[in-house]
Structure 1
Amino acid sequence: MNTMTLFHLTGWEFAALAFAALLVGFSKTAVSGANTVSLAIFAAVLPARASTGVLLPVLIAGDILAVLTYRRHAHWPTLWRLFPAVAAGVVLGTLFLVRADDGAVRTSIGAILLLMAAVTVWRRRTADREEEPDSVGTRAGRAKARSYGVLGGFTTMVANAGGPVMSMYLLSAGFRKLGFLGTSAFFFLIVNVSKVPFSAGLGLIDGRSLLLDAALVVFVVPGALIGKWAVDRIDQRLFEQLVIAATVVGGLQLLLR
Structure 2
Amino acid sequence: MTTTIPTLTVTNPIDIHWSHVGCTVLSSSKYGLEYDRIKVLHEIGLNAPLAQDESFYAPPANRAIDVRALFPDGNIVSFVGQRYSDLQDELQKYSQAVADGNVEELNRLHHLFLSTTMLSPVLFKAGTQVLTFEYELALYPMEGTPSDFELTLLAPMPSFRPAGQSQITVRIDLPSSNNLAFNADVIEAAGYEFDPATGAVTGEVQKIIEGDYGLRKIIVWNWQVDPFFRVHYRYR
- Higher Cα Rg: structure 1 or 2? 2
More strand by share: 2
After TM superposition, the score normalised by the length of structure 1 is: 0.26
- Larger RCO, structures 1/2 (Cα 8 Å, 6+ apart): 1
After TM superposition, the score normalised by the length of structure 2 is: 0.28
More helix by share: 1
